Amino acid sequence: LDRWMEKLKQVVAVLGSQWGDEGKGKIVDILAQEYDVCARYNGGSNAGHSIVVNGTKFAFHLMPSGILNQKAQCLIGNGCVVHLPTLFTEITKLEEKGINCKGRLFLSDRAHIVLDLHQKVDGLQELDLGGGKLGTTGRGIGPTYAEKMNRSGIRASDLTNMEHFRKRVGAIAAIMNKRYPSLNADVEEQVKLYSEFARQLLEREMIVDGVEWINARHKEGKKILLEGANATMLDIDFGTYPFVTSSNPTVGGCFTGLGLAPSKLGDVVGVVKAYTTRVGEGPFPTELFDSVGTHLREVGVERGTTTGRPRRCGWFDAVILNYSHMINGYTALNLTKLDVLTGLDEIKIAVSYEYQGKTLHSIPASLDVLAQVKVNYETVPGWKEDISHSRSFSDLPPNCQRYVNRLEELLNVPIVWIGVGAAREATIEK
């Protein structure tokens, strides 16, 4: 993949372009082998990235995927919300596999902390919604971001003063207990648990001024990879609200979630699955309920890395991708899981939406409208040949090449990398 690697700028962002689960971790892992810094800028342990290296599977939730490059440094930025028990579980599992994290993994002092209490409240809020549930992961992400916006949250810097931390937890617990009497939040239990995590964070010298840290690395000329969690259609502003996450996975989140100036960003890589999936509730125009949907789910092993929930599957949606490109300005695309389409007689591509006889040129904010759109498809012939061992674009069957080329025409963005299997080496350059 050297040809395109050489063209990438000093700072590159990797973003999910659909509803998440596109396979961002794999391309981040590949690119991170050539980058000095890998930084997460949004989300929390609701994210799930799976990477297979030399037959070993790594599942990340909070950890930047670049941690597998032992020469790289990693930062969890201020735009993230961090559940420390999950983070230290990931650290332990990595170090058991010989991946050293000490002196390589840093946490912004402005990142907000997810307490176990937030996770319990997340579940209670879903119960309150009943039939109108959002389908959250239950990881406490929404309640923590809500506190952040309500200016009552806890940040990593608060862990350097445990007496102050105790007061902050007490204030949050009082509000939670009043709203949910059955919660019976135990302040001292949380303080005891997080005191130990605070000790480990300080011992490892993990808490840093994230803004100063990332800009210092940039000034030093370090190559920086920005890793997004979730995806455009789950963005709190631009996604299918309210069935979204609570942060900005789109390109703007790179700047607010790390403190980097927009002028420092060079390239934006969009990761797009060769079909479409989503987890949770909300409209999904190209969703399939037939044997093809079953094929995509079973062959693609479409279950959430974080929740284990089966994913909803559908045809590739060029309308969503063009909307995503308008927002993020992709300079290159990574097409993933192309091999999953092998065996289908024909493949459909959603090329436009209609509503009440009119063509829509964007994704409507109204979910009622989105749920009622008529989807117009192009149909292209499929292929039967196994492509999992292909290592160049010319190795792909003619119909497979035509499918990729047609997607590139519809999106007007170069498809640079193509995933034909789960392993790191099962990626070819177009």
- Tell me the C-alpha to C-alpha distance, in Å, between residue 196 and each of 190, 200, 206, 339: 10, 6, 14, 46
Tokens, residue 235: 């963005």
Strands 332-336 and 267-273: parallel
Of 29, 36, 49, 109, the catalytic one is: 49
> Cis omega (within 30 of 0) on the bond before 283?
no
Q: How far apart are CA 212 and CA 196, in angstroms?
A: 26
Phi first, then psi: give them for residue 351, nearest 5 degrees.
-110, -20
Residue 284, Ramachandran bin (φ over 0: left; ψ between -120 and 50: alpha; else beta): beta
CA distance 36 to 226: 11
Segments of 142-218 assigned E as strands: 207-208
Q: Which residues pair with 314 in a beta bridge?
A: 276, 287
β-pairing, 427-429 vs 415-419, is antiparallel
Residue 49 falls in the annotated catalytic set: yes
Rounded CA-CA distance 263/255 in Å is: 10
Indicate the pairing of strand 37-40 with strand 73-76.
parallel
**Residue 430: HSE in the Cβ half-sphere, 13 Å Cα cutoff:** 21
> Which of the 8 DSSP states describes residue 88?
H
* 235 catalytically annotated: no
d(CA 275, CA 292): 11
Pairing of strands 267-273, 11-16: parallel
- The residues assigned a catalytic role are 21, 49
